[in-house]
Structures are given as C-alpha cells and as structure tokens.
C-alpha cells in the first residue's frame, strides 16, 4: 500500500497521467469536430417562400434552394386556383439545416365528392344551412304553389333534379324550389312560376 502511494506521488506517474488526459482530450476534440462536420452543425439555409407556387413548378423552384419538399395535404377551396401551395411548415425565411424537408399544403386539383343531403320537406332556412355546412353553394331560390308552405319541394343542379344520396362535388351550386300555399304576383314579373307540383 505504501509503495502504491509513493508511485502515485512520483513524478513519473504525474507525467503519465497528464499525457493520458491530454490524449483523451485530443481524441474527444477530434470526435466532436468530426460530428460537427458530419451533421453540418452551425450551417443553415433560409426556407424559401413556397406560397402560391404551382405544384407543377415545384421541381424547378427548389433546384437551387438546398431544401426538399413533401406535399402532406390538399385542401379544397373553390375561391383559390387548383394545385397551388396555400401554406408551408416551416414558414418562409426560417433557418433550417441543408436538405430539410418542407411540408406543403396545396389546393386540391379536383373537388372532392360528397353525398347530396336530403333537403325535401325542410324549411328554406334549414336547407340553406345544410347546403353551406356541406361545402355546397346556395343558388337560385324560386317559389311554387304547394300544400307544403315554406319548405323545399325540389332540389336541382342546373335545372336537373339531384336526389338525396347522389354524389355531388363540393362547391356545386344547388337550386331550390320552395312551396307556398298562397302565391302572389311579383311586380317585376309578368306571371307566377310555371313549375307544377
């Protein structure tokens, strides 16, 4: 035990111990630098603005941008052009590492189909609410003499009857005929509606 303590206190041990620590430090430093180089630590690029870009132009758009992209969702919006980028993650001008994937949300190329809801015998107010909540558009509303006062008696697309359960594209204009027990003359028209029950 005494010999061990003497060896630890010796100059030779201190020199060797110092050399070991120095070697470990150098090895650790080299490993850290290699990892930084491999992961490009501290290197970044700015995210380009993809918004309003057409999907067909994206391959050329990112050629010199040092990022990649992935379309993860399409959103139907009848007010927007088809196939354009609506939003992105991360946002434009964010700092990201090279070759980072940018996730894109685009407008749908085609309107999705839904099942036409039943509007017959519903009130005009209910029918309008259902049409709008289903992503459809309320079109022309006419009145026709009927025993069903204030309710829908006919639903159509461009004059052609559309029945409940039929497939229809979102954004389609739905026209309605509302029943009235008593008809009146419109001062701007020459006659009552020609529709028959």
Segment 20-46 shows an average pLDDT of 74
pLDDT at 180 over 60: yes
Q: Coil, helix or strand for 33?
A: helix
Segment 78-104 shows an average pLDDT of 91
pLDDT at 195 over 60: no
pLDDT at 31 over 70: yes
Lowest mean pLDDT among 47-56, 99-108, 182-191: 182-191
Better-scored residue on pLDDT, 61 or 42: 61
Q: Which domains does the chain have, with CATH numbers?
A: 45-107 (3.30.10.20), 113-180 (3.30.10.20)
Radius of gyration of the chain (CA): 36
Contact 117, 164 (CB under 8 A): yes
Q: How far is CA 104 from the centre of its chain?
A: 7
Does the pTM exceed 0.85?
no
Contact 164, 118 (CB under 8 A): yes
Query: What are the percentages of helix, strand and coil residues in the chain, rounded to 5?
Result: 25, 30, 40
Segment 20-37 shows an average pLDDT of 77
Q: Tens digit of pLDDT for each residue in 142-165?
A: 999 999 999 999 999 999 999 999
Contact 75, 108 (CB under 8 A): yes
What local confidence, expressed as pLDDT, does residue 13 receive?
Answer: 67
pLDDT at 188 over 50: no
What local confidence, expressed as pLDDT, does residue 6 receive?
Answer: 63
Better-scored residue on pLDDT, 5 or 89: 89
What local confidence, expressed as pLDDT, does residue 36 receive?
Answer: 59
Q: Sorting pLDDT into bands at 50, 70 and 90, what band is 37? A: low
Segment 21-41 shows an average pLDDT of 72
Mean residue pLDDT across the chain: 85
What local confidence, expressed as pLDDT, does residue 70 receive?
Answer: 95
What local confidence, expressed as pLDDT, does residue 194 receive?
Answer: 44
Lowest mean pLDDT among 2-6, 8-12, 45-49: 2-6
pLDDT at 42 over 90: no
Query: Which helix H or strand E contains 71, and what residues bound it?
Result: strand 67-75
């Amino acid at each position: 035990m005494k010999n061990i303590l003497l060896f630890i206190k010796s100059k030779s041990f201190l020199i060797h111990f110092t050399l070991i620590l120095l070697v470990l430090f150098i090895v650790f430093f080299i490993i850290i630098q290699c990892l930084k180089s491999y992961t490009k630590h501290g290197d970044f690029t700015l995210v380009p603005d993809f918004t309003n870009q057409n999907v067909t132009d994206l391959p050329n758009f990112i050629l010199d941008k040092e990022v990649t992209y992935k379309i993860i969702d399409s959103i139907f919006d009848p007010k927007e052009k088809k196939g354009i980028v609506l939003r992105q993650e991360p946002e434009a001008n964010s700092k990201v590492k090279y070759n980072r994937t940018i996730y894109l949300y685009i407008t749908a190329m085609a309107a999705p189909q839904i099942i036409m809801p039943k509007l017959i015998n519903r009130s005009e107010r209910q029918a309008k609410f259902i049409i709008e909540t289903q992503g459809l558009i309320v079109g022309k509303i006419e009145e026709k003499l009927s025993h069903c006062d204030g309710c829908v008696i006919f639903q159509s697309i461009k004059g052609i009857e559309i029945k409940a359960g039929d497939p229809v594209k979102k954004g389609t204009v739905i026209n309605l005929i509302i029943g009235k027990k008593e008809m009146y003359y419109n001062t701007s028209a020459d006659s009552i509606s020609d529709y028959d029950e």
